[in-house]
Amino acid sequence: MRRKISLFALVDCNNFYVSCERVFDPSLLFCPVVVLSNNDGCVVARSPEAKALGIGMGVPVFSVRDILKRSGARILSSNYTLYGDMSRRVMESILSVWPRMEVYSIDEAFLDLRGMNADDVHDFAGSLRETVRRWTGIPVSVGIAPTKTLAKIASGIAKRRADCEGVHYLRNEKDIEESLAQTAVEKVWGIGPAHEKYLKKRGIFSALTLAGAPDAMIRKQMGVVGLRTVFELRGVSCLPMEEIEARRKGIAVSKSFGRPILCLEEMEEAVAAYTSMAAVKLRRRQLAAGVLSVFLITDRMKKEKPQYYNMVSCELPEPSDDTGQLLRHALWGLRRIFRRGFEFQKAGILLTQLSPVDCGQGCLFSPPARAKAVPLMCALDQLNATLGKGALRYAVEGSNPSWKTRFAFRSKRFTTNWNELPVAAAR
DNA sequence: TCTGGGGTCCTAGGACCC
DNA sequence: TCTGGGGTCCTAGGACCC
């Protein structure tokens, strides 16, 4: 029996964060819009109008302040609650049309189209776009090809070229070659800054040249991961669908402060608040952590100031999802690595060695500490779900601290909070 | 003067992704 | 004045063992 030839589609939301904002605020349509990273630091999403102004991805906002102002651009802080919920809606819309889906990121999904008649592919992609747009308001592009890496390239072209109308299908060798020839090597999925530099030094500037590069050279310089990328460009599928979400290996919460922290007391508040958030994530996924790590770091950009980085990990006596228990270890770790005389810019918590909390019979023998904590944590999570995040919290987290991460231009949580529903006025 | 070989496990660091 | 956060995987090198 012959195996069916692989065929992947990549469904990719256009300027996802900006598109989410535009769904609920039509005044953002047709003007340059940028969405900023945490702490309102860098540009992480741009409308086509903002891209046309030459505003790069990931640039610090202060470096483009003038051009934003001159062009009347609209600036927004990140609203992850909104984007997360819109992402869920987009994925559900896709799933209602095609079941074999892998959620790849907040704004991308791969589809396994094996077996679909080549003549039907284009129409299918067009109607999928229309469904997603109608149900969620989010515009998407679709790239279709025999490998995931080629599907990525195809969706990039679908986005760039107006004549594609949001869909690009690499149906045969000729299509593939043409697409590779017009794709810069650094735009290939899996080629980052380090590989880009190496490849260009060797005279490899396009995806097409990369596809023809010698295996031995790629293997030596870029490892098996790099070689897989090259095979994928040649149409040999090496990256399978992963429809079932893999189990998380770690959970992290780390954030820059709105202003530098100098004293231990404030750092304790920050580390406690981050630990608390990490514990909520842990319980949402029904996991317990075996190891907790704390780190803190000064501002690397301020070269004239004394620099310090340290991290400490501690093994918990038993895997835990109890905020109280995690807090005790986090604060103990923090006190070991904290040093006076530095201006700290960021701290973080990492939870690793994760295991499922519902380990069957194990619970029967749970020590009293955890048994007692379970109802407490349930109550804590439920109250915060009803009354709002942070309504009930540990005292050590502080009350409305001044070091908090900045989100000066954040929109409302239109789809997840009753008090922030969009309002329409009828005259 | 001349000092084995092969396996496992762990960790830190690098590279990449969105 | 102002430069994000949260992940994954791979590799090299050291420790250790027989």
pLDDT tens track of chain A, all 427 residues?
667 799 999 999 999 999 999 999 999 999 999 999 999 999 999 999 999 999 999 999 999 999 999 999 999 999 999 999 999 999 999 999 999 999 999 999 999 999 999 999 999 999 999 999 999 999 999 999 999 999 999 999 999 999 999 999 999 999 999 999 999 999 999 999 999 999 999 999 999 999 999 999 999 999 999 999 999 999 999 999 999 998 899 999 999 999 999 999 999 999 999 999 999 999 999 999 999 999 999 998 888 899 999 999 988 988 999 999 999 999 999 999 999 999 999 999 999 999 998 764 444 555 666 777 888 999 999 998 888 888 889 999 988 889 999 999 999 999 988 888 888 888 7
How many Å apart are CA A293 and CA A222, to the nearest integer? 31
Spatial CA neighbour of A147 closest among A39, A279, A241: A241
Ramachandran region, residue A310 (left: φ > 0; alpha: ψ -120 to 50; beta: rest): beta
**Cβ of A252 near strand C (distance < 7 A):** yes
- Looking up tokens 């897989």 gives A228
- Per-residue b/e over A63-88, b at no fewer than 16 CB within 10 Å? ebeeebeebebbbbbbbebbbebbbe
Q: Which nucleotide lies nearest residue A198, CA to C1'?
A: B15
How many Å apart are CA A157 and CA A336, to the nearest integer? 52
R_g of chain A computed on alpha carbons: 24
Phi, psi of A92 (to 5 degrees): -65, -40
How many Å apart are CA A251 and CA A338, to the nearest integer? 22
The stretches of A98-192 forming alpha helices (DSSP H) are: 121-136, 148-160, 173-181
Which residues does A150 contact at the CB level (< 8 Å), separation at least 6? A8, A143, A170, A176, A179, A232, A233, A235
List bases in chain B with any atom under 7 Å of a protein Cβ. Answer: 14-18
Q: How far is the CA of A214 from the C1' of B2 (A)?
A: 43
Q: How far is the CA of A290 from the C1' of B7 (A)?
A: 28
Helix (H) / strand (E) element for A234: namely none
CB atoms within 10 A of CB A325: 20
**Cβ of A108 near strand B (distance < 7 A):** yes
Chain A residues 330 to 389 whose Cβ lies within 7 Å of strand B are none
CB A168 within 8 A of CB A158: yes
Which residues does A279 contact at the CB level (< 8 Å), separation at least 6? A321, A322, A323, A326, A377
Is A233 strand, coil or helix? helix
